[in-house]
DNA sequence: GTCTATAAGGGGATAGAC
DNA sequence: GTCTATCCCCTTATAGAC
């Protein structure tokens, strides 16, 4: 049922946010993409803020599901981190997107409070999932016993978010470089 | 002569870009900050694009000067990288800003071509300066002879840019954590 | 649910007086 | 150099017909 109008609106809005930012698209852009009129969008999402909040919530579920899938399908830390990197490299390869989180965080002070709060939750918990993988890897001896999983997770998350942004504006190979160096430095460091 | 109107306009515009993004502020906002009318801004910067281009060029000079100062005042790689991190942590501590580069890159596809080009130059050369420090550190034996200065520079730059964005939207301590872990992993790795 | 019509204000930008 | 006045389009949003 991925062609119901609400989903199609969220899909189109997500692409616009990931390429132009929240302040960089209008209901008019969205309407022309989906093939309806702007007034019809207001039926589904009364205000643009409502759409943005729904967008971040849906993205939160998407990331959470991806993390659970990685945990279920891979046991080694190296493979799991590879999987995490894959979530974000998938953005860039499709339409030169960046992560929804970074796109919105770049305009942070101009966002409605509700969107800021959802964004905070998305970023905080994304780092939490990565920290969880690192914690388990530490127990298994895949990284140094002296390393700090929370701080390392912050590095991984920040570096991946930053790499997407930098890669899009400069050179696409930046993301692969960053991921590889990060892996080399992290595993059995 | 830092109180001439053109400088004050650029200062105010930079703060607005670093907090709200390019699409998140208007000439009206700018005018009220500086205390003149919107029409007067057009005298100095005919179009908003002209202002954005001037802003990125000035920021490029600022970063370049900061890098040269770091090179002149410090010789060890550790100190130089500390200095680089300081450039970016300075943003956050003043008004919760992020780097001009990341703020604009988040809205990349919505930017005028001229601004995209200036942004590309800023990000490419910023990484070049960091790579230069790493190259010299490699010659001095401060990092492993097997390490790749260009890839490492991409990691440092991406991680710092990402850390600012993540820190602002979640927890200010993220930046310090990322910087510290990065230093530990890089030096004599 | 989607449409047309429309409101009310914001946006960048220009003309011309001072 | 800065102002007032104004243009014209875009933007979000609502009312009400279908």
Q: How many CB atoms lie within 10 A of CB B68?
A: 11
Q: Using the predicted structure, report yes or no on whether residue A189 has a pLDDT greater than 80.
A: no
| Nearest nucleotide to B23, CA against C1' atoms | C11
Gap from B43 CA to C14 C1', in Å? 11
Q: Using the predicted structure, report yes or no on whether residue B127 has a pLDDT greater than 70.
A: yes
The model carries a pTM of 0.98
Q: Using the predicted structure, report yes or no on whether residue B46 has a pLDDT greater than 60.
A: yes
What tens digit of pLDDT does each residue of B70-121 get?
999 999 999 999 999 999 999 999 999 999 999 999 999 999 999 999 999 9
- Domain count across chain A: 1
Overall average pLDDT of the B172-183 stretch: 98
Q: Using the predicted structure, report yes or no on whether residue A188 has a pLDDT greater than 80.
A: no
Overall average pLDDT of the A51-55 stretch: 99
DSSP A189: -
Contact (CB<8Å) B102/A178: no
Overall average pLDDT of the B50-56 stretch: 99
Contact (CB<8Å) B161/A157: no
Q: Using the predicted structure, report yes or no on whether residue B25 has a pLDDT greater than 60.
A: yes
Residues A43 and A38: their CA atoms lie apart, in Å, by 9
What mean pLDDT value characterizes chain A? 97
B112 in contact with A, Cβ within 8 Å: no
Q: Annotate A106-137 with b (16+ C-beta within 10 A) or e (fewer).
A: bbbbbbeeebbebbbebbeebbebbbebbbbb
Q: How many CA atoms lie within 13 A of B134 on its CB side?
A: 25
Residue A2's pLDDT band, with cuts at 50, 70 and 90, is low
What tens digit of pLDDT does each residue of A70-127 get?
999 999 999 999 999 999 999 999 999 999 999 999 999 999 999 999 999 999 999 9
Contact (CB<8Å) B148/A181: yes
CATH number at residue B69: 1.10.357.10
- Helices vs. strands in chain B: H and E counts, helices first: 9, 0
Confirm whether any atom of chain D, the nucleic acid strand, is less than 7 Å from CB of A28: yes
Does some domain include residue B135? yes
Query: What does the pLDDT read at residue B188?
Result: 73
Does some domain include residue B102? yes
Does some domain include residue B17? no
Does some domain include residue B3? no
What mean pLDDT value characterizes chain B? 97
Q: Using the predicted structure, report yes or no on whether residue B178 has a pLDDT greater than 80.
A: yes
Of A108, A152, A154, the CB nearest to B174: A154
Does some domain include residue B42? no
Of A24, A101, A163, the CB nearest to B158: A163
Confirm whether any atom of chain D, the nucleic acid strand, is less than 7 Å from CB of B39: yes
Does some domain include residue B25? no
Residue from B15, B20, B21, B91 to probe the interface with A (highest A Cβ count within 10 Å): B21
Q: Using the predicted structure, report yes or no on whether residue A68 has a pLDDT greater than 80.
A: yes
Query: What does the pLDDT read at residue B2?
Result: 57
- Residues in A closer than 8 angstroms to B109, CB to CB, are 19-20, 24, 96
CA distance A113 to chain B (A): 11
Provide, rounded to the nearest whole percent, the portion of chain A with pLDDT above 70: 98
Query: What does the pLDDT read at residue A164?
Result: 98
Q: How many CA atoms lie within 13 A of A189 on its CB side?
A: 26
Gap from A27 CA to D16 C1', in Å? 21
Does some domain include residue B6? no
Does some domain include residue B31? no
Range of the domain at A159: 5-186
Report the range of poorest mean pLDDT among A65-69, B3-7, B168-172. B3-7
Provide, rounded to the nearest whole percent, the portion of chain B with pLDDT above 90: 97
Contact (CB<8Å) B20/A107: yes
Residues B49 and B112: their CA atoms lie apart, in Å, by 7
Gap from A132 CA to C2 C1', in Å? 47
């Amino acid at each position: 049922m991925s062609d119901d109008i609400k989903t199609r609106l969220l899909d189109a809005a997500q692409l616009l946010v990931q390429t132009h930012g929240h302040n960089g698209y209008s209901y008019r852009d969205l309407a022309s993409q989906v093939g309806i009129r702007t007034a019809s969008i207001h039926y589904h999402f009364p205000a643009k803020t409502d759409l943005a909040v729904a967008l971040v919530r849906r993205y939160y579920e998407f990331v959470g599901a991806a993390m659970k899938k990685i945990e279920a399908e891979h046991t080694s830390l190296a493979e799991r981190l590879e999987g995490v990197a894959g979530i974000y490299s998938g953005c860039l390869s499709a339409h030169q997107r960046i992560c929804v989180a970074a796109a919105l965080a770049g305009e942070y002070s101009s966002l409605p409070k509700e969107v800021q709060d959802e964004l905070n939750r998305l970023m905080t918990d994304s780092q939490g999932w990565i920290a969880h993988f690192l914690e388990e890897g530490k127990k298994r001896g895949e990284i140094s016993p002296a390393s700090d999983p929370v701080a390392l997770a912050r590095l991984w998350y920040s570096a991946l978010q930053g790499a997407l942004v930098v890669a899009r504006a400069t050179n696409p190979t930046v993301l692969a470089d960053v991921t590889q160096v990060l892996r080399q430095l992290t595993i059995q460091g």
